[in-house]
Each structure stands twice: as structure tokens, then as C-alpha cells.
Amino acid sequence: MDAAAVPAARVAVINAAPANDKGEHVLYWMIAQRRTRWSFGLQHAIAEAAARGLPLIVLEALRVGYPWASARLHRFVMDGMADNQRRFADTPVAYLPWVEQRPGEGSGLLEALAERAALVVTDEYPTFFLPRMVRAAAARLAVRVDLVDGNGVLPLRAAPDPFPTAYAFRRFLQRSLRPHLAALPLAEPLALAAGLPPARVPDAVLARWPATPLAALDGSDPCWLAGLPIDHAVPPAPLRGGPVAGEAALATFLDERLDGYGAGRNQPDADASSGLSPYLHFGHVGAHEVVAAVLARESWEPGRLATTASGGRAGWWGVGPGAESFLDQIITWRELGFVFAFHRPDHMSYDALPGWAIDTLEAHAGDPRPWVYTHEQLEAAETHDPIWNAAQNQLREEGRIHNYLRMLWGKKVLEWSPHPREAVLTLIALNDRWALDGRDPNSYSGIFWCLGRFDRAWGPERAIYGKIRYMSSDNTARKLRLDGYLRRFGAGQLELGIRRK
């Protein structure tokens, strides 16, 4: 097989328009895999350009009008654009980073670049507004649009149905993942671009949509971001975005925390988790890159895979316990949610919970609630529960919540809401607004897991929860070493809307 060819299961033509034989360039509309390395989307775009002897233009755009647009999300994405600009420099590819400054300014940009394109390549992403946006754009454009799935190790279309549990999905993976592990994207697809004719963004396009200056992208001109009509009450998080920071986070995790991952992941004071979810969410780092790096570090080779598909969490890969446990999270749990979102466009809705979960939640919907909080009280971390408040403060301050506490955070909102439907809306709004990694298939996996998705019925049956798995703050306090966490994020340390210095 041609090394540059992307597996057929990952490419879908999503409109009826033909490729344009008279096209002057190939256009890659980079919307989810926002990086230059380990990217099937970019690899496919380069391969198509090379096959036609055409130049390649890459458009990475960011509009102001999408839901939850904020200084936090913009800063993170723009950090990535600055990195990408540097990485595309000195290649024949023309990269246009474009951040909208006024609502509606971006209308027509994609069409203008597609007008003389031989074809358009873009990224598949199964949630948020992206599927709708891509389908609408493909229907408008008069040229073929190839949708490329670089989301996970398993192509989305290789899973026939959504899976009800991680166990069922893991068994499926253990039977079917092997060939996909041998079909990873190229680490450096830009190396293939060396022979392409040099590309230029047409002057007429640049005249109307000039590239956003590097000083705006990299934050050296902070006034630029401050002037955008987005939610500035959600300030930039301390974490720097972009492929460069993401790759550094991956390297540090492998060197310092992978070995202790299984045991250390749940302790807030010795957090052994990778911290990669924001980078994975924005496509600054790819899942393939992370998996390949873990396997390389373990000197893994395919002969180590177990030959039986037991569905067990450990032992299938034939690597150390830390790596085994991490691979289960980044493949089984992460891709369980991607596959679910792909097959279930209603994945963000209460009605998409399993029947047993809806039945038990409804049976207990009328139970008295000792505490009920409004959205505003929750957002401001004003509850009676110091652990919950600390988790919410961490979310507001850092754009993340420690992994174990995130489960407790979600469960308590179920307990403190007038109805589980309302709990879902509150959780989605809090998480999507404040979390760097929100608006992701995993966001809805995690939130709906708190209400029974991917889980089973548990006993004893309790008030409000019914048969939904219960979690308590008292138990959490007994299980985890929380002193440092509570000191850091505890009540009183954060004023509403003001970041702690």
C-alpha cells in the first residue's frame, strides 16, 4: 500500500459534487485535528494534492459566534495556530490562520477558498456543532468534500453500533483493533509535502480575510484577544495550548508518571494522570501519537497482544501495568464515547440514557431533595459541600477537574437538581463553558455516565439515585488525600469572576 494513503474506512465523501479537474489547489479545512503531525486529515490532503500535482492551502479558522466562545477557548486554540503557523513556514503549503473579529465576518471565506479548489478535505468530529456545520458547508460547496476521521485508533465506521458498556466495547476492540494498530498516520506528513508546488492564498481572499497576525495568535499582543466579542468572564486558563505544549505534556507524562498511572491517577495530591485531554480535544495532539509513544516506550511489538478477547481491563496489550491502565482509558473509554456520539446524534440528550436508567431516575424524580441549588449557585461554587466547591473552583480556575473528583462533581449535581433532566442541562452548561476539554464526546460520556450511561444498575436502591451508582463526599474524603486540594481550591479562596493570582 502507498505509505501516504489513508485507510479507506477513514475517508467519506459527503456531498454529490465532483472533484474539479480544472482546480488550482487542494484545500484542507482544518477544524478538529489542529496540528501538523500524526494527522490523517493533513496526510490525505497532501496525498490528494500530490496525486494531482497541485499546491495545498490549509485554512484554520476560528469564529466568534459558536456556543461557549470565550477568552479561555480562544486563547488555547490561538496558541495552537501560532505553533501551526511556525510549522507550516518553510514548507510549500500555504497556511491561513484566521480568527474572526466581528460576528459574520467569516461568512464566505470557505466558499472563496473552495471556488478554485480541486477538492476540499476536512476533519470528521462526531459532536458539538461540527457535524452540522460540515454537512451544511458540504451541501453548499460546488466541489467534492472528503471527510477524514482521525479521531481514534479504531476508525469510527469500523464499529457497527454504539456499545452499552466499556466491557462490551473492550471485547470488540480486543477482537478487531490489531489491523488498525498497523495503520497509524505518518508522524510527519509534511515531509510528503516537500515535492508539492508552492501554494499562495489568492490575493482577493487575503484582501478580504487577511491572516491573523502572529502577535495576536501567540498572545504577545493581548489587546487583540481582549477586543473580541466573546465571553471574557471565562478567562484564559493557566495551561498553554497548542501542539508544542501538548507534545511537551506527553513527554513529561511518559517520563514521570506513566509507570505510576494505575495507582496514582485517583489521588489529587499525587495526580499521575496525563493532563492531555485539552490537547486531545482540540486536536493539538492526536490519539495515535499518544498511543504510539506509550507503545514505543514499552518496547511493544504486536506479538505481545493476547490472543483471547476476554474483555478484561488488564493483560491484553502485554505492557506494564501503568501503560495497560492508561491505554484502557485513552482507547477503550475515550473511543467508547466517540463511537456512541457517531452513531447517536441524540447523545447529548437525557432520552438517550439506557431504559433502565431513565426508569429508575423517573421513579425517584419526586423524591424529596435535601439540597437543591440553582445554576448560578453551582456555577459560583456556593454549596454546603467543600469538596464539590473545590472541584468547581478548580474547573473555573484551571479549566479542568481532577479525574476522580469529576465523577463526584457530576453525581452531586444529579442529587441537588430538581429533576435529572435539569441536572443534565446544568452539567453540560458548566462543563462546556468552563472546561478546556469540554464539548467533546468524552464530555457527554462522563456527564451521562453519572446518570447511568455505560454503567449497570447498582444496589441498594437509594433516594433520588434509584439504581444509579451512588457516590458520597464522605466516602471520597475517606478514600482520597484531599488536604492539599482543599487548601488550594477551597471555599473563600476564589472570588466570583476573579482568578486567584
Which residue, 162 or 337, is less far from ligand FAD as judged by CB?
337
Per-residue x/- track, 186-205, ligand FAD (CB under 6 A): --------------------
- For the packed helices 403-415 and 441-449, what is the interaxial angle rounded to 10 degrees? 60
Q: Is 151 in the site for ligand FAD (CB under 6 A)?
A: no
Q: Sign of the C-alpha dihedral, residues 291, 296, 302, 305?
A: negative
- Amino acid residing at 294: V
Stretch that binds ligand FAD, among 12-20, 70-78, 232-240, 267-275 (CB under 6 A): 267-275
C-alpha–C-alpha distance, residues 69 and 436, integer Å: 11
Instruction: List the one residue from 311, 446, 452, 466 that touches ligand FAD (CB under 6 A).
Output: 446
Q: Is 34 in the site for ligand FAD (CB under 6 A)?
A: no
Which residue, 47 or 339, is less far from ligand FAD as judged by CB?
339
Q: Is 329 in the site for ligand FAD (CB under 6 A)?
A: yes
Instruction: List the one residue from 87, 334, 396, 453 that touches ligand FAD (CB under 6 A).
Output: 334
C-alpha–C-alpha distance, residues 401 and 393, integer Å: 9
Cβ(385)–Cβ(473) under 8 Å?
A: yes
Stretch that binds ligand FAD, among 81-89, 170-178, 274-282, 417-425 (CB under 6 A): 274-282
Instruction: List the one residue from 58, 96, 230, 407 that touches ligand FAD (CB under 6 A).
Output: 407
Instruction: List the one residue from 442, 466, 468, 489 that touches ligand FAD (CB under 6 A).
Output: 442
Per-residue x/- track, 418-437, ligand FAD (CB under 6 A): -------------x---x-x
Cβ 343 to ligand FAD shortest distance, Å: 16
Q: CB burial class (10 A; 0-12, 13-18, 19+) of residue 384?
A: exposed
Cβ 406 to ligand FAD shortest distance, Å: 4
Instruction: List the one residue from 181, 230, 330, 414 that touches ligand FAD (CB under 6 A).
Output: 330
> Count residues contacting ligand FAD (CB under 6 A)?
30
Stretch that binds ligand FAD, among 42-50, 104-112, 400-408, 459-467 (CB under 6 A): 400-408
- For the packed helices 403-415 and 420-434, what is the interaxial angle rounded to 10 degrees? 140
Q: Is 265 in the site for ligand FAD (CB under 6 A)?
A: yes
Stretch that binds ligand FAD, among 114-122, 291-299, 329-337, 378-386 (CB under 6 A): 329-337
Question: CB atoms < 10 A from the CB of 310, how many?
Answer: 12
Within 277-316, the residues that bind ligand FAD by CB under 6 A are 277, 280-281
Nearest alpha-carbon partner for 83 in 285, 222, 293: 285
Stretch that binds ligand FAD, among 60-68, 111-119, 354-362, 442-450 (CB under 6 A): 442-450
Residue in the structure block whose three cell numbers are 447511568: 452
Which residue, 100 or 437, is less far from ligand FAD as judged by CB?
437
Q: Is 72 in the site for ligand FAD (CB under 6 A)?
A: no
Instruction: List the one residue from 162, 283, 337, 420 that touches ligand FAD (CB under 6 A).
Output: 337
C-alpha–C-alpha distance, residues 150 and 184, integer Å: 10
Q: Is 410 in the site for ligand FAD (CB under 6 A)?
A: yes
Cβ(423)–Cβ(417) under 8 Å?
A: yes
Instruction: List the one residue from 450, 451, 468, 494 that touches ligand FAD (CB under 6 A).
Output: 450
| Residue nearest ligand FAD, Cβ-based | 446
Q: How far is CA 251 from the centre of its chain?
A: 19
Which residue, 7 or 152, is less far from ligand FAD as judged by CB?
152
Question: CB atoms < 10 A from the CB of 346, how many?
Answer: 9
Q: Is 406 in the site for ligand FAD (CB under 6 A)?
A: yes
Q: Classify 271 in phi/psi space as left (phi over 0), alpha (psi -120 to 50) or beta.
A: beta
Question: CB atoms < 10 A from the CB of 360, how many?
Answer: 22
Peptide bond into 460 cis (omega under 30): yes
Q: CB burial class (10 A; 0-12, 13-18, 19+) of residue 141?
A: buried
Element (H, E) at 139: helix 130-140
| Per-residue b or e along 149-178, where b marks 16 or more CB atoms closer than 10 Å to that residue's CB | bbbbbbbbbbbeebbeebbebbbbbbeebe
Cβ 463 to ligand FAD shortest distance, Å: 21
Residue in the structure block whose three cell numbers are 472546561: 435
Instruction: List the one residue from 273, 417, 426, 476 that touches ligand FAD (CB under 6 A).
Output: 273
C-alpha–C-alpha distance, residues 198 and 52, integer Å: 14
Which residue, 74 or 284, is less far from ligand FAD as judged by CB?
284
**Which residues sit at the interface with ligand FAD, rule CB under 6 A?**
265, 273-277, 280-281, 329-330, 333-334, 337, 403, 406-407, 409-410, 431, 435, 437-438, 440, 442-443, 445-447, 449-450
